Homo-oligomer: A and B are copies of this chain.
């Protein structure tokens, strides 16, 4: 079994982690290595569930923070093992950004912070990069709800070492427009379902997405057609057209409210009869940065030179904490635009910065 040296510098730990392949579904080896390394820490209570590992301090502090990261990556594209960038300032490799640098920060601190000022629950989990039903954090919260409790959560997903609070929610809705089929040589005998979609597309085209302030952060929304399909043959008047809409909504809305908003936009478009079917929905999450506990974290990260917290616009697993009533933020090394890229690489500076930011908070 590959073993991890968690006393190494955090960029070295990052490389050790990248060099253990852990594509979703194949997290066994990396989970074994993490579990074995943490088992040596007397100050941590370890629970393993499948390839997810929870390591907790139990110092009886007033507050408990959860710090979480996933162990899996998207498929390798010739980018394992890791190599340094030419200038030596970065690490190239699958998962460097998403999110083994973040996991390295967590592991390095888990070993070092024997007496943190808040109790800490370190969560390392599997199956983040695949379908929602397999998600290891979701599984932990169902099977071990007592372990996923805390006053605040930090997810070490890449944010270029600045705080990105909460996340927008997302929903997908199919707008199904009916028609009546006919041979296109006698089109007046049919009703064209694609033509019926015109008001829907026009409403989406002129829709002006809102920007909503939540707990001091600005959440920019988006309402878009992400798919359209209609027609079965070049000589048939189409009897169905489906427009798939994706709404990214601010944490000021519940998902039910967001669904209603989309339905309102469609209804106001002047469209005729149509069916609306929600095919996918994921809650938004408030950042909770107005809580005193979070303020200490914001100050500690600011002391590393990071810019002001900003809103997280993509959906991330912080929303799972939101659903459990735990405010949560994203904070980790790496440029999220490079996640999943063939040339995925992470700046070592950002890895050190994140370690410093979290260490300052958890010891102050």
- A-side residues, CB < 8 A to B, are 168, 170, 172, 183-188, 192, 194-199, 201-202, 204-205, 209, 220, 222, 224-231, 233-238, 241, 243-244, 246, 248, 280, 313-315
Contact between B205 and A192 (Cβ–Cβ < 8 Å)?
yes
Instruction: Apart from A170-B184, A228-B231, A234-B246, list 18 A-B contacts with CB within 8 A.
Output: A185-B222, A185-B248, A185-B315, A186-B313, A187-B248, A192-B205, A194-B201, A194-B243, A195-B204, A195-B205, A197-B228, A198-B198, A201-B201, A202-B202, A226-B235, A227-B234, A231-B244, A234-B244
Min Cβ gap A11→B in Å is 28
Q: Which of B192, B205, B226 contacts A225 (CB 8 A)?
A: B192
Contact: A220 with B315, CB < 8 Å? no
CA distance A194 to B196 in the complex (A): 14
A168 surroundings in chain B (CB, below 8 A): 185
* With A185-B168, A185-B313, A187-B248: A226-B238 Cβ-Cβ less than 8 Å: yes
Query: Chain B residues near A236 (CB, 8 Å)?
Result: 226
Chain B residues near A248 (CB, 8 Å)?
184-185, 187
A selection of 27 A-B contacts at a CB cut-off of 8 Å is A183-B314, A184-B222, A184-B246, A185-B248, A185-B314, A185-B315, A186-B313, A187-B248, A188-B220, A192-B205, A194-B225, A194-B243, A195-B204, A195-B205, A197-B228, A198-B201, A198-B202, A225-B230, A225-B231, A225-B238, A226-B233, A227-B234, A227-B238, A229-B229, A229-B231, A231-B244, A234-B280
Contact A205 B201 (CB under 8 A): no
With A and B bound together, what is the CA distance between A237 and B205 in angstroms?
13
A244 CA to B237 CA, complexed, in Å: 11
Docked Cα-Cα span, A315 to B194, in Å, equals: 23
Bound Cα distance A165, B202 (Å):
41
Check if B226 sits within 8 Å of A237, measured CB to CB.
Answer: yes
Report whether A225 and B195 are in contact in the complex, using a CB–CB cutoff of 8 Å. Answer: yes
CA A179 – CA B268 in complex, angstroms? 25
Residue of chain B at shortest CB distance from A247: B184
Q: How far is the CB of A136 from chain B (nearest CB, A)?
A: 21
A98 to B202, CA, bound (A): 44
Residues on B with C-beta less than 8 A from A188 are 209, 220, 222
A196: chain B residues at CB < 8 Å are: 205
Chain B residues in 8 Å Cβ range of A194: 201, 204, 224-228, 243
A222 to B191, CA, bound (A): 12
- With a cutoff of 8 Å between Cβ atoms, the chain B residues found around residue A170 in the complex are 184-185, 235
